[in-house]
Structure 1
Amino acid sequence: MLTAARLGAAALTAALLAGTAAAPALADTPGAGPTALPDGLYGKSDPTYDAVWRQSLALTALAAAKVTPADSAVAWLTGQQCADGGWQSYRADAAAACDAKLEDSNATAAAIQALVALGGHQDAVDKGVQWIKANQNADGSWAYNPGNPGDADSTGLAVSALFAAKTDPAGVAKAGKNAFDGLAVFQLACTAPADQRGAFVYQTAPDGTAPEVNALATGQASLAATGGKLPVTNTNRTDTAPKPLSCAPDAAATTPATTPATPVARADSGEAVSAYLTARLAADGQHLMLTLPGATPTPDFTATSWAALGLVQGGHPQQATGAVDWLAKEGGTWTKGGTDAAATATLLLVAQAAQRDPAAFGGSDLVAQLTALGPAPKAVAAAGSPTASPSAKKDDGGGISTYWVLGIGLLIGVGGGLLLSLQRKRGPQR
């Protein structure tokens, strides 16, 4: 079981990743004091709970956009790796030994995918994969922190990391249960109500308790269920709707509660979750909803983004179109105008997967926004080598080229940095 402290940390982490918690602002210059951000890190908010996660998403998205990040950005991520191959959410002192209990499967899975996307870091990737293998649970699943019950989000991210590292999840097993078996633990099958089949729960429910569908768990697990990793580059498509689970009539009503549910077969898992997501998106205005105890449901940008990624990976980009359109229209709220590194990187990954123009996604240049949140890159894509597919769809009538905006943004950043430096010499500013 998670301790109260870990439950609180996990809840805050989930809120940060979902874009529902406002993190405290920190000094934006390395070395500015005890609250200074690490050199090379993307984003301006408190790094405590999501530093490795947001750094990994940013590097993955920028690599797909043909942006070569600064050495300091990559070195920061590799420098956070623990001796045993895992990553914690964040280590303020990377020279200190890691606490094995605090190593984070989500951060590790994201870091592996980022380093694969960047290339040239095979030793770190291999060590990360060994950590993933070593910390698998007996049912084939993974927990957020080692030693705890598994959950769908962590298991889905671990499976995607294995795909990225070209390691067959079917061959990664503990006590006879492989990674796909672990993922199936959380997917609702024929004994669930018809409108929930194919969805994922966060964790299995106690005996006699009805399982609850979790939007973020379903969105993140969908990428693994459809055989995907970050960045999503699948261009295969089927021109038919995803196939729901084939169940006997009234299967949920006629199956005794004491009868163990037959897991969704691996061959059916991706189509089943894609069918669920398609129906759920249509019912909720082309976005998923965040439901927290005692709170009014609100749009869940993170879950919607991962749902879109899963649908594209599953060969159903047409079913993802409505969600991508919604994200293009409303995503600026989530990214806080392009100042939230994790949200901006995730939105960029969605635009890339959907073959939209990231320089004009809902009127925003996501590449320029994300690049401005970290150290100046070593290189950007050459003129005539767009970051999106040549057939990429623009989300507005035109727009300034990514590279003009990027160049202007860098000049502004340099000038702004000089001004801030001069201001700090005069004393603290508020």
Structure 2
Amino acid sequence: MNIRRSAAALAAATVVLGAAVPAAATPSPTPSVAIPDGLYGTTDPTYDGVWRQSLALLAQRTTGVTPADRAVAWLAGQQCASGAFAAFRADAAKACDAKLMVDTNSTAAAVQALAALGGHQAATEKAVGWLKSVQNADGGWGYTPGGASDANSTSVVAGAMAAAGEKTSEVRKGGKSSYDALLKLSVKCDVDPDGGAFAYQPDKKGALAANADATAAGVLGVLGKGFVTKAGTTPKDGYLCSNSSEPFTPFELARNGSAYLAQSVHDTGYLKSALPGAEDQPDYGNTADAVVALAAQGWTEQAKKPLAWLEQNSAAWAKQSGPAAYAQLIFAAHAMGADPRHFGDTDLVAQLDATGPTPQATAKATDQAADTDTDTDKKDDSDSGYGVWWIVGVFLVAGIGIGFLISVRGRKRQP
């Protein structure tokens, strides 16, 4: 789910329902607020602070890095008394009020991070309780409480539920679960060229348009998996999109979404950006999400090409986009069993660590090195450096989503 929270100010202003998986990260303007101590990223955190921090900490935990205490404390301190998280609270000492826009994506991302870090059971339970309280009658979630369900938000919340030890199939509202909501957003396989894909939301006429970002999110959502996952079992029934077994099981629905993604990256190895007015260019974030989704489904053969493309081409994008982008790439490498410390010519772990407070493990190594270092002018730089990230909401206004690709596909084919 891409992380992609770009121009989120507009998204928030128009109450656009956002992304979990969320995708292409783009630097924000010069920060209009001071960057808090402990927060990753140097760009304005107003619309993505909790999101990028959650992804950064989760990626560090996934690679065996112990984050700095103050980085974890900053994230935990962003939680409201209700259990919800907003995108960013400049003054965490001030109680949350009705004017503060809390959202499901920030809350669900924080749950996944805090659950992985451990020691935050009370906080995660409270957050999960809030998420359950704002579940829609169709079983899904929108970006904001009461907003129409969308594939991205529903999926990131499903991942949070799983991370917190909940069975996603049992988290229901009106008898409906996240699976039921995602099923309604799945394009049937005989609908060319979009068969198998997930839509972000139906359009005003109820039609479903393929959205690669929503599809990557949807695959993880129906499988009950979060941002961090390992490769699933290679399927025995081939790599086809099929309507033959309706009603679909979650695995079958995920298979259909994977068929769409596999076909989309088959020729070039990457997904293309389809944002309004955007040039025909690669979407790095959504490509990384596609790798995670394909791997989770067990389609590792189909994920090899986009992973290799990212290894060769994503360094500049990640450097510009910041910690959440590095986290996305780490999740893709982890899902495929690749070493994020040797990702092409990039050490993703070191690059991520450098965007924020020095992790505890790194600090230890630095202290030991200082014992033999004769350069007395060197300083510990644990107080400097940050990163970036983006809220997807804005470009999802018309059900467009972030970084999706519509490719020409037939009903049943092997990519």
Q: TM-score range, shorter-chain basis?
A: 0.7 to 0.9
Distance 2:247 2:150 in 1: 16
Change in 2 beyond 3 A, CA 1:198/1:115? same
Change in 2 beyond 3 A, CA 1:365/1:9? farther
Q: How does 1:27-66 map to 2 (within 5 A)?
A: 35-66=33-64
**C-alpha contact (below 8 Å) 1:372/1:413 kept by paired residues:** no
Q: What corresponds to 1:22 in structure 2? A: 27
Distance 2:353 2:237 in 1: 38
Q: What corresponds to 1:114 in structure 2? A: 113
Q: What corresponds to 2:311 in structure 1? A: 328
Give the number of aligned pairs: 369
Specify which structure has the bigger relative contact order, considering alpha-carbon pairs within 8 angstroms and separated by 6 or more residues: 2
1:127 Cα shift?
0.9
Q: Give a deviation string over 1:236-281, Cα, whole Å, max 9, x none.
A: 4347743312359xxxxxxxxxxxxx87543411111111111111
Matched, 1:288 2:271: yes
What runs of 5+ residues in structure 1 fail to find an aligned partner? 27-33, 249-261, 384-402, 421-430
Structure number with higher helix proportion: 1
Distance 1:86 1:288 in 2: 33
Q: Identity of paired residues, percent? A: 41
1:376 Cα shift?
1.2
1:330 Cα shift?
1.3
Matched, 1:152 2:151: yes
Please tell me the residue identity of whatever aligns with 2:26: A
Please tell me the residue identity of whatever aligns with 1:351: A
Distance 1:141 1:419 in 2: 40
What runs of 5+ residues in structure 2 fail to find an aligned partner? 1-8, 386-415
Change in 2 beyond 3 A, CA 1:417/1:162? closer
1:195 Cα shift?
3.3
Q: What corresponds to 2:395 in structure 1? A: none
Q: How does 1:100-249 map to 2 (within 5 A)?
A: 102-190=101-189, 193-207=191-205, 210-234=207-231, 236-238=233-235, 241-247=238-244
Distance 1:269 1:419 in 2: 45
Q: Give a deviation string over 1:39-70, Cα, whole Å, max 9, x none.
A: 11111111111111111111111001111111
Please tell me the residue identity of whatever aligns with 1:364: T
Distance 2:96 2:196 in 1: 37
Change in 2 beyond 3 A, CA 1:342/1:227? same
Q: Which deviates the most, 311-320 or 289-298?
A: 289-298
Q: What corresponds to 2:253 in structure 1? A: 269
Q: What corresponds to 1:346 in structure 2? A: 328
Partner secondary structure for residue 114 of structure 1: helix
**C-alpha contact (below 8 Å) 1:164/1:230 kept by paired residues:** no
Q: What corresponds to 1:374 in structure 2? A: 356
Partner secondary structure for residue 243 of structure 1: coil
**C-alpha contact (below 8 Å) 1:13/1:50 kept by paired residues:** no
1:358 to 333, 340, 359: 340
Q: Give a deviation string over 1:184-204, Cα, whole Å, max 9, x none.
A: 1211124x5243222111111
Change in 2 beyond 3 A, CA 1:66/1:381? farther
Q: Which deviates the most, 411-420 or 74-83?
A: 411-420
Change in 2 beyond 3 A, CA 1:265/1:365? same
**C-alpha contact (below 8 Å) 1:281/1:323 kept by paired residues:** yes
Matched, 1:279 2:278: no
Change in 2 beyond 3 A, CA 1:418/1:130? closer
Change in 2 beyond 3 A, CA 1:13/1:187? closer
Change in 2 beyond 3 A, CA 1:381/1:189? farther
**C-alpha contact (below 8 Å) 1:232/1:313 kept by paired residues:** yes
**C-alpha contact (below 8 Å) 1:195/1:276 kept by paired residues:** no
Change in 2 beyond 3 A, CA 1:86/1:413? farther
**C-alpha contact (below 8 Å) 1:86/1:131 kept by paired residues:** yes
Superposition TM-score, scaled by structure 1 size: 0.77
Please tell me the residue identity of whatever aligns with 2:310: L
1:368 Cα shift?
0.6
Superposition TM-score, scaled by structure 2 size: 0.80
Distance 2:51 2:174 in 1: 29
Change in 2 beyond 3 A, CA 1:298/1:20? farther
